[in-house]
Amino acid sequence: MLRTLLILLLVLPVTGCNSTEPMVDPFDPDDVDYAAIDNPAFAEDVRPLLVARCGDCHGADDDLDATSWDGLIAGSSGSEALIAYDSENSLMIELMTKLPTEHPAYEAHQLDPSEVDFLKRWIDQGAKNADGAVPYAGTDRSRVYVCNQMAGQVSIIDIENMVVARNISFGAPMATTPHDVDVEPDGSAWYVALINANSVLKYDAATNELMATALLDPTFKPGMLALDPNSDRLYSGRSFSDLSGGQSVYTIERSTMTATEAAIPYTRPHPIAVTNDGSYLLSGSLADNIIASYDTADPELELTDQVTVDGQQKSFVHYAIAPNNNVAVLTSQLSQELYFIDISDPENLSILSVVQVGNQPWHPTYSPDGSRVYVPNRLSNSVSVVDASDPANPSVTATIEDERFAMPHGSGITADGRYLFVANRNQDFEDGPRYTPRYPFGDNANVGHLSVIDTQTLEVIKVLEVEEFASGVSVYEP
């Protein structure tokens, strides 16, 4: 017994103590030559740096977890932390490179320039995880596309995490000016109208690579798009800025991107929509008080009805079609009205009712159950909520106000009707209120943004900063 105890006493100190094992040095980014790493790997190169440089303040229990890939791409409650392939507009990089020295977060985000360049490299190569996955890639996630007209870009928002996932650039902003966007019903491709490039582009949604271009007449500036989910058709009206006097719209076959110009009997056809069964195209004019319907059987379209609305100049901006396909709503810029139009027989259009909304109502959106229409009012900086359950007697039941609205323009909604997305132009224009971006980066005088509205509370629950002049919006859900 004593012998056993003695042996134990002799053995224990040796096995129980680590002091003889070599010490592992803690990771120190200063020991790494980041300039030499051309292709940063997340697990080996990126994560250790993030843990060392960000972990004290942005760990697993914080609003932003910058120490894991999942945490980093999910962003904070206020914003994305990075945008794959776009380090220039990635918040984490902007915090490192654009903050004024007096900003409280300045010190916290000062990294060695070689470390900043290394992180930029990783983001510009796709911010891939250890398995080589690009954040939010693929076509199986819900997303919002929003044009950034004066930045020559489309931003793609991931709906589940409510963050900007990608920015797709078309080239020189003034030469491209993307205005509206639409998505293939199966999510496989998206389309964008480039006003100043006289073209409509088709992009692969999985890779966000250009697939094909429909080049339109050089005098035709495409504006709003209307996609028929039942056929191969996409239609384009003319931009607000198209003052050519041209009297036509375009029919585009999406599979081939073949474009056919269809003659119409009026100028400035901005509003455009296709009925839910695809049989008729609805159009109208910014210049004349005209609304019209066309049979779509032939790509050159056949005029089936044309109605002239009495009174002052209306300047019809844009349509939305009720889910039951019996009613269309149409905004009138100059008379600040929303028209309810009976389209149950599109060859006999008739106006059911007119309701006063805000100043310069823009792109309206129907709730998926047809009970409401949401109308962003460009110059009142508000969104009218219109009870549309009885289209002969609509009424404004609420007006959503938010100090961050700044020239609300486009809109879109989730399939369950819960979240409404409103694009804000936010330009120095007509003395309207401006949105002040969350961080003073110096280069964001005209940041556009997307307001996310909870339609149950009618409150703006998040503001997603995108690029200059957010305009047309399209929502895709698998």
CA atoms within 13 A on the CB side of 466: 41
Residue 48 φ/ψ, nearest 5 degrees: -60, -40
Min. distance of Cβ 51 from ligand HEC in angstroms? 9
User: For residues 400 and 375, what is the distance between their CA atoms, to the nearest angstrom?
Assistant: 10
How many amino acids of this chain bind ligand HEC (CB under 6 A)?
20
CA–CA distance, 114 with 90 (Å, rounded to integer):
17
Instruction: Return the amino acid letter for 193.
Output: A
Out of 37, 46, 54, 197, the residue judged to bind ligand HEC by CB under 6 A: 54
Name the strand (E) or helix (H) holding 199.
Answer: strand 199-204
- 105 interacts with ligand HEC by CB under 6 A: yes
CB of 241 to ligand HEC, least distance (A): 35
Exactly one of 66, 227, 281, 422 binds ligand HEC (CB under 6 A); which one?
Answer: 66
Question: Per rule CB under 6 A, is residue 47 in the interface with ligand HEC?
Answer: no
Minimum gap (Å) between residue 81 Cβ and ligand HEC: 4
Residue nearest to ligand HEC (CB): 54
Cβ contacts of 233 within 8 Å, gap of 6 or more: 227, 251, 252, 253, 254, 274, 278, 296, 299
Handedness of CA 468, 165, 186, 458 (dihedral sign): negative
Minimum distance between the CB of residue 372 and ligand HEC, rounded to whole angstroms? 31
Give yes or no for residue 52 binding ligand HEC (CB under 6 A).
no
The burial of 22, by beta-carbon neighbours within 10 Å (0-12 exposed, 13-18 middle, 19 or more buried), is given as: exposed
Residue 422 sits in the site that holds ligand HEC (CB under 6 A): no
Near ligand HEC by CB under 6 A: residue from 47, 58, 254, 268? 58
**Smallest distance from ligand HEC to CB 162, Å:** 12
Cβ closest to ligand HEC, residue 108 vs residue 133: 108
For the four alpha carbons of 230, 236, 240 and 243, in that order, the dihedral sign comes to negative
Q: For the chain, what's the residue count?
A: 478
Q: Which of 69, 71, 119 is nearest to 97 (CA)?
A: 119
The Cα 98–Cα 105 span in angstroms is 11
Comparison of 191 and 441: residue with beta carbon closer to ligand HEC:
441
- The residue from 32, 46, 64, 352 that contacts ligand HEC (CB under 6 A) is 64
Contact flag: residue 91 with ligand HEC (CB under 6 A): yes
- Does the footprint of ligand HEC cover residue 100 (CB under 6 A)? no
Q: Which of 51, 108, 212, 398 binds ligand HEC (CB under 6 A)?
A: 108
Assess 104 for contact with ligand HEC (CB under 6 A).
yes
Segment 338 to 397, residues that bind ligand HEC, using CB under 6 A: none
Distance CA 291, CA 453 (A): 31
Binding site residues, ligand HEC, CB under 6 A: 50, 53-54, 56-58, 64, 66, 76, 78-79, 81, 91-92, 95, 104-105, 108-109, 111
